[in-house]
Amino acid sequence: MRDYKIPDQLKQFITADTIVVRSPGRINLIGEHTDYNEGFVLPAAIDKAVYVAVEKNPGTRLNLQSVDFNESIEVEIRDIKPVPGHWSTYIFGVVDQFIRKGQFVTGFKLSIYGDVPLGAGLSSSAAVECAVAFALNELLQSGFSRKELALMAQAAEHQYAGVKCGIMDQFASLFGKKDHVIRLDCRSLEYEYFPLELGEYVIVLFDTMVKHSLGSSEYNIRRSQCEEGVMLIGQNYPSVHSLRDATMEMVNECIGEFETAHRRCKYVVEEIDRLQKGCEDLQAGDLIAFGKKMFATHDGLSKEYEVSCKELDYLVDNVRNNPAVIGARMMGGGFGGCTINIISKDMVEELVAKLSEDYKKDMGKELKHYLVNIEDGTSVIGR
């Protein structure tokens, strides 16, 4: 792992006893809505991260300081509880997981700072949870593995933040590897690294600056539609326990007359296959072929899974025939957030200027963009 610098914003909180941990946000190159169908995902850690500085406190008191929100709180360990919508909830949720695992938690001081854009779908909450979990593991010498920490961070999100997320975000933050993507099997949690050699290309995210309220309700509907499809297939093929086990032949045979469920399941089964073939492209160094699969993923998400929105479709459609862009798609749960694009380095500035102008004119919104590099996962960067 390479050396990462401690941000200036945290330096005032550092003493001789402080441990400083960096935990990154993530992108997902391909494999969307496949996680809860026990399929595969292909995330990578990025160069935008959350940093925590932690040291022991005498007694059983927690002193927490958020640099971003310019706010500090103090609480006894025995009094921690979820505070909906507040940054401390993610920290308390992780502390709670350590206690549930039988770990004695001492008082500590923790300062936190991050440069992961909020609300852009880059998993800032998972970065917070993983940074805190990794830092406490070091501070308390708990000996938990990265996989255990990922599961604890996920459980913190479920039980304290109330978000029933999959494991991808926390896993990518903890297991990221510079210039590589992670093929994660969401059923077994087995994983493999594949090189992402971008060469003359860079990854750029375009932020729609919208988040439609459909997101959470439609997410639950999609899950139930997939479960319905599995139940229908399972009547003829009892070995099928999730869409991971299904083939397109099974989908057509067993769900063909149920139009909506058929479209949902078709997308998921094809996306799981598309991800596997995309990994072969990366191994062969064929970025062009991989990029075409990103466009195919977007079309499936938009037309078959129906989790896109006019802003996301606009951004993808407006780069689709641009020779400087070899791949683009919406990223994340849908109904807003970012598109992820692989763009020729030389053309980024020109493309950003033109697309920003068009987006403002046609959609009436400012367009934000982020250049991201693929970096290592969570690590101690100072002690």
Residues tagged active-site: 169
- Phi/psi at 339 (5° precision): -100, 150
DSSP 3-state of 181: strand
CB atoms within 10 A of CB 258: 15
Alpha helix locations (H) across the chain?
8-11, 88-100, 124-139, 146-156, 168-175, 214-236, 248-255, 259-283, 287-299, 310-317, 348-363
In angstroms, rounded to a whole number, what is the distance separating the alpha carbons of residues 88 and 54? 14
Quote helix, strand, coil % in the chain, to nearest 5: 45, 25, 30
CA distances to 205, 271, 376 from 278, rounded to whole Å, are 20, 10, 22
Residue 169 burial (CB < 10 Å; 0-12/13-18/19+)? Answer: buried
In angstroms, rounded to a whole number, what is the distance separating the alpha carbons of residues 349 and 352? 5
In angstroms, rounded to a whole number, what is the distance separating the alpha carbons of residues 282 and 242? 27
Buried b or exposed e, range 335-357, using 16+ CB within 10 angstroms: bbbbbbbbbbeebbeebbeebee
Whether the Cβ atoms of residue 41 and residue 275 lie closer than 8 Å to each other? yes
**In the beta sheet, which residues pair with residue 183?**
192
